[in-house]
Structure 1
Amino acid sequence: MTGRMKHIVCAMSGGVDSSVAALLLKSRGFRVTGLFMRNWDALDETGVCTADKDEEDVQFVCDKLNIPFHHVNFVKEYWHDVFSEMLRQYQGGVTPNPDILCNKFIKFDRLLQYSRETLGADALATGHYARTDAGEQILEDGWHSKQHSVKLLQAADSVKDQTFFLSQISQHALQRTLFPIGDLTKAVVKEMAARAGLQRIVKRKESMGICFIGTRKFNNFIQEYVEPRSGNFVSLEDNRVVGKHKGQFLYTVGQKAKISGMKEKWYIVDKNPLSNEVIVAPNTNHPALFCEAMFTSPVHWIHEAPRQLLQDQMLDCDFRFQNTDPLVRCTLTLSSMGSVIVSLSRPLRAITPGQYAVFYLGEECLGGAIILKPGPSLHVLNRKNYKTEELRIPTAQQES
């Protein structure tokens, strides 16, 4: 690497992963600035703003590493780009993924822009468990003028891999981002933090779930923003009303439905936001909960659309729609306007509209798309009475 010392802004949350990312960058001779991003100011149910504690921990790490500390407030941007969109999707009867939305619109858009334009950074670094095929080459003088395209690769630690949450990152952002811990395991990351005197950070409880909800129950939280509207639980088997619910947005496909007065357990199969009905079926392994195909929005390809898909209209690759789920072999069939039909090698339970279908080819994360509609369930196929419109991909107008 030639020329002046490169300036890297490291996005820091107060956790061990981003702390070690900053530690590694400094040890490699970069000029590092720690940047804390505040997205949410509300108090949790204990009356504590957890962002304050997180910011204190980032300040502690920056002092330990002797690097500048900076903070930025994106509360308004987060509300507009992520939270409002999340509420809109819940009201529309689907289940969104706010973590993917945050990465797409805030961390790898607003934060990257702020880091480069306001703080003068050459690149942004994060504590994500992910890798690229470019690595630190993006910092070489003249690299960007050659118009390189970067691939997003899975992390060395397959258990902690976070490429699922990065599946909507833009090529522009990926060409200006470093993932310093992508080649490390979680155990090694904790060991490095402890050796650097960051035991306080190592002992921190790892954050799980949606950041702005904190310790609150999701149903209590979401009802502060979406007005409940009661409706019927309707049996898939015989269209019988089997109970009442307080709002279809409180439920997601595959979840157990707590229906009073019923001896057997019922599970959410589908939702109808127009009639406000929640369709349920008995038994957690009911065939209606399983399907082998789905239809997506236009796919966001991180690197570029695979040549084989463009040439043959079909591509064999791997799929997941939950970050912790094992990869499943699938075939993509190119459909209208860049959307795809995903045919799975085996049935999966609770394919959920609004969630992301993320595709992999070897160690590369190709990108992903929003699941618009699962294909006919095994229950429907077994009855052999599905209609052709059930196989129709929704139009953009229907999506909205």
Structure 2
Amino acid sequence: MSKITSRFLELCKQRRLPGYHVQSMPSKFDNIVVGMSGGVDSSVCAALFAAYPNVHGVYMQNWGKDQSLTRPEEDPCYEKEWKDAEKVAKHLNIPVEFVNFEKDYWLNVFAPMLEQYSMGYTPNPDIGCNQFVKFGKLMDHLDVKFGKNNYWLVMGHYARILRRDSGPERSEPHLMRGLYQQKDQSYYLSQVSVPSLNQMILPIGHLTKPEVREMAKEVDLHTATKPDSQGICFVNNSQHGKFKNFLKEYLPMELGNIITIDELTGKKTVWGKHPGIWSYTIGQKIGISLPQGDPRYQGAWYVSEKNKRTREIVIVRGKDNNNLFKDVVTVKHFKILSKNPLSKEELNEAINKETLHMQFRSLQTPVKVTSVEWINSNEFSLKLERKERAMAPGQYCCLYVNERVIGSGIIDCAR
């Protein structure tokens, strides 16, 4: 066992969550697959398990405009990351496999994202990528290679998977927040399947980012000082600088009016045109010229509503305009991260104990839920302790009880 692995296990013991077991580790001869992205987090994951005799690295290429590409050298978006992953694997003396899941990403993540945008929603492709590709298609691939339930999948996400010490759920894996709140990625994992949790290990979730970089330096990984990646590849590396311009390549132009609505009379005033309701999201600042000489129109304007039927985008003045803030949100298609159905009693108990919180984007300050109004078994409305800005239909609403992720669903509307 390496020094950093021993230190990692000691830190896990020191940081044990009350009521939960310490992070379990594979047996010596288990098959271990480490997802390697070429970044420092996944590199340290590989280093933690490099001493195991049956450890393997896997690198995924998930995006490419030309889906006929089969090698990373043919796509500049992935070339450097693949080379970094290869270099880390060589340094640690472990094999690494390159796999291409572009078609799966396109069908299960990108195409549905475009459809959601065309309907005026604000989807999150990172959640879909984790659900359908990283912990979906990849595990299907590994099931064939190693046998179903015959391997551990180690990934570099800032989250934890733990089991309770006792009680009826003691054998069930629970998705928990990462220790390092500044990097917590549990929100992005809230749609993975319960069976996949059984085979996952997320060691980085027990560490802070400075500790990860320190461990990388300790074992002389060249990725130790590599900057963190920002966002998803098809945005960062598209030929256009703005996401709206990127979407223009894939979505049809459907011109509509940009309007204001007088709060007293209800009168609509048209101020311009937009190329499609997908071009702006709720809460976004809009670059439009209003008569700045008139005190009623001075300042910056923001999107408060989008109407698919009329193709109208409604704007309001000021970033903190009251129309941008809501405290009731309706959630549909809620998926619980448990083999048991969503328990009304559990949620009510958590509300009474003031431990039920929600997030509609990653790394936001969690919002306390004060009541739940059920519509059916996977659809409900939440009353929040405070009003939140720019809760947009299509975003995921993730529920937490203390550190544990209960599950998530899609925001249908906010009011």
TM-score normalized with structure 1 length: 0.85
CA deviation map 1:101-138 (0-9, x unaligned): 10011111111121232245512110001111149x9x
Matches within 5 A, 1:124-135: 124-134=153-163
Answer with 206-215 or 80-89: which moved more: 206-215
SS of the equivalent of 2:83 reads helix
Instruction: Work out whether residues 153 and 363 of structure 1, in 8 Å CA contact, stay in contact via their aligned partners in 2.
Output: yes
- Contact 2:259 2:270 (8 Å CA) reproduced: yes
> What corresponds to 2:234 in structure 1?
212
After superposition, the Cα gap between the structure-2 partners of 1:189 and 1:354, relative to the gap in structure 1 and judged at 3 Å, is: same
Q: Is the 8 A contact 2:330 2:411 kept in 1?
A: yes
| Structure 1 gaps, min length 5 | 138-145, 376-400
Deviation at 1:58, TM superposition (A): 0.7
* Mapping of residues 17-32 of structure 1, within 5 Å: 17-27=41-51, 29=52, 31-32=54-55
2:363 alignment partner in structure 1? 324
* Cross-structure match for 2:8: none
Candidates 250, 260, 263, aligned match of 2:289: 260
Distance in 1 separating the partners of 2:382 and 2:58: 39
Pick one of 113, 124, 130 that aligns with 1:103. 130
Residue identity in the other structure for 2:136: D
The corresponding residue for 1:398 is none
**SS in structure 1 of the partner of residue 235 of structure 2:** coil
Question: SS state of the match for residue 236, structure 2?
Answer: coil
- Structure 2, gaps ≥5 residues long: 1-24, 67-73, 293-297
1:11 aligns with 2:24: no
1:357 partner letter = C
Between the aligned partners of 1:246 and 1:125, the Cα distance in structure 2 is 43
Counterpart of 2:374?
334
Q: Deviations over 1:133-192 (max 9, x none)?
A: 149x9xxxxxxxx99321111111111111000001110110111112121100000111
Alpha-carbon distance in 1 for matches of 2:153, 2:75 = 30
Name the stretch that deviates more: 104-113 or 253-262. 253-262
Counterpart residue number, 2:175: 152
Is the 2:282–2:305 Cα contact (8 Å) retained in structure 1?
yes
Partner of 1:56: 83
- 8 A contact 2:163–2:170 mirrored in 1: no
2:392 aligned with 1:363, yes or no? Answer: no
1:328 corresponds to which letter in structure 2? V
CA drift of 1:363 comes to 1.0
Q: Given the superposition, is the C-alpha separation of residues 151 and 207 from structure 1 closer, same or farther in structure 2, using an over 3 Å criterion?
A: same
Residues 286 and 170 of structure 1: is their aligned pair in 2 closer, same or farther, counting only changes over 3 Å?
A: same
Q: Report deviation, 1:342.
A: 1.1
> How far, CA to CA, are the matches of 1:166 and 1:175 in structure 2?
14
1:353 pairs with 2:393: yes
Map of 1:277 onto structure 2: 312
Letter of the 2:62 counterpart: N
For 1:175 and 1:262, the matched residues in 2 are separated by 59
> SS at 1:197's partner residue?
coil
Q: Supply the distance in 2 between the matched residues of 1:195 and 1:78 (Cα, whole angstroms).
A: 35
Listed as ranges, the matches of 1:239-318 within 5 Å are: 239-263=268-292, 264=298, 265-303=300-338, 304-305=340-341, 307-309=343-345, 315=351, 317-318=356-357
How many residue pairs were aligned? 361
Identity of aligned residues (%): 35
The SS at the match of 1:275 is coil
Tell me the TM-score normalized by structure 2. Answer: 0.82
Following TM superposition, by how much is the alpha carbon of 1:312 offset from its aligned partner in structure 2, in angstroms? 5.6
Secondary structure of 1:213's match?
A: helix
**Structure 1 position 94 matched with structure 2 position 121:** yes
Give the Å deviation of 1:22.
1.1
- CA distance in 2: counterparts of 1:19 and 1:157, whole angstroms: 18
Matches within 5 A, 1:138-217: 148-199=171-222, 201-215=223-237, 216-217=241-242
Q: What amino acid sits opposite 2:407 in the alignment?
A: G
Superposed displacement of residue 262, structure 1:
3.9
Contact 1:231 1:246 in 2 (8 A): yes
Contact persistence 1:152–1:364 (CA under 8 A) = yes
Please tell me whether the aligned partners of residues 8 and 30 of structure 1 are also in contact (alpha carbons under 8 angstroms). no
3-state DSSP of counterpart to 1:212: helix
- 1:72 positional shift: 0.7
Name the residue aligned to 2:413.
373
Q: What secondary structure does 1:240 align onto?
A: strand
The AA in structure 2 aligned to 1:277 is E
User: How far, CA to CA, are the matches of 1:147 and 1:309 in structure 2?
Assistant: 19
The letter for the 2-side match of 1:105 is F
TM-superposed CA distance for 1:82, in Å, is 0.2
| Equivalence for 2:256 | 231
Q: Distance between the aligned counterparts of 1:334 and 1:67, measured in 2?
A: 51
CA drift of 1:278 comes to 0.5
User: Does the residue aligned with 1:114 lie in a helix, a strand or coil?
Assistant: helix
